[in-house]
Structure 1
Amino acid sequence: MSEAEQLRDRVEELQALLGVGNDDVSRLLAVLDATPQQCEMIGFMLRRSVATRTAMHTVLFGARPECDQPEMKLIDVQMVKVRKALEKVGVEVRTEWGSGGWAIPIAHKAKLRRLMSEGVAPGDDLRARRMAFLEGA
C-alpha cells in the first residue's frame, strides 16, 4: 500500500472517530431531512457528551485556509436547522449553558442510532407516497 493510500485510510479512520465520516453522514442523510454538513454536526454530537461551538467549527472548517473559514456564527445558524431536523424524528438537543455547546441526551442518542441502523425515518411511508405521486404526474 502506498503512503498516499495509508494516509487516506488514516484520514477516514480519524473522521469516523470524530463522527464526520462518510458512513455516519450517509446513514444520517437517509434518516433525516438535513444537509451533509448538518449530518456531520449531528455525527460529531453523537460521539461526545457535549459538542462545543469551537470544536464543531474546527472539525468542519479547520482544514480550510483561514481566509476561507466561515464565521463562528454559522455553527449557531446550522444548529437551529439541526434541531428542527432532529425534532422531526423525536430527538432532542439540549443547550449546555456555560460550556458554549450542545448535547443530545443518551436516550435520544440511542434512538437516533437505532434509526440510523434501520435506515428508515418515521414518516418515510408518506415520503414514498409523495414520490410515487410525483412520478405518476
Structure 2
Amino acid sequence: MHGGISEIQCLRDRIEELEGLLGAGKEDLDRLAVFGMPAICSVILGLLLKRVVVRREAAYVVIYGNRPEAEQPQIKGLDVYVWRVRQRLRLHQIELKTQFRVGWYLTPDDKAKINALIGAVRP
C-alpha cells in the first residue's frame, strides 16, 4: 500500500492516465460524444486527435488489447469503424485521410475544426 492507496488503485490510476495520453480516456470519450458515434469510433477519433498518424496495429491494441486473445476480432474489422468515423466527420466537412501502408491521419486544420466543434458544445 502507498499511503493508504492500494496497489490496484495505483494501477487503475496509471491506466486512466495512459488512456488519456492516447486520447482514449473517459474524458476524451465524453468530449467526443458530440459526434454521436459508438465508443470504438470515439476511441479512434481520440487517437487521431492526439497523434500525427494512427497505425492500424496501434489502434487495434488500444481498442482490443485488454481482451483475451480468443476474444479479439480480426484486425480487418477495424476498417468498419474507421469508415464510420470517416462518414461522421464528412458531415462536418472534415476529411479522415489514409497514408498508404502507414495509417490514418487528420490535417492540423481538420483537428482544429474538431476541437472547435467539441468546444462549441461544452456546458
Equivalent residue number for residue 116 of structure 2 = 114
The alpha carbon displacement at 1:110 in A equals 1.1
Given candidates 78, 86, 90, the residue that maps to 2:89 is 86
Given candidates 14, 18, 26, the residue that maps to 1:14 is 18
Contact conserved, 1:32 with 1:89, CA < 8 A, in 2? no
Equivalent residue number for residue 38 of structure 1 = 41
Given candidates 69, 72, 76, the residue that maps to 1:73 is 76
Contact conserved, 1:18 with 1:44, CA < 8 A, in 2? yes
Structure 1 stretches lacking a partner, 5+ long: 121-137
Distance 1:40 1:91 in 2: 17
Distance 1:42 1:60 in 2: 12
Normalized against structure 1, the TM-score is what? 0.81
Distance 2:107 2:49 in 1: 9
Distance 1:2 1:113 in 2: 36
Equivalent residue number for residue 133 of structure 1 = none
Q: State the percentage of identical aligned residues.
A: 37
1:66-103 Cα deviation digits (max 9, x unpaired): 1000111111111111101111122211110131x110
The alpha carbon displacement at 1:37 in A equals 1.0
Equivalent residue number for residue 3 of structure 1 = 7
Q: Please report the RMSD computed on the Cα atoms of aligned residues, expressed in angstroms.
A: 1.2
Q: SS at 1:102's partner residue? A: strand
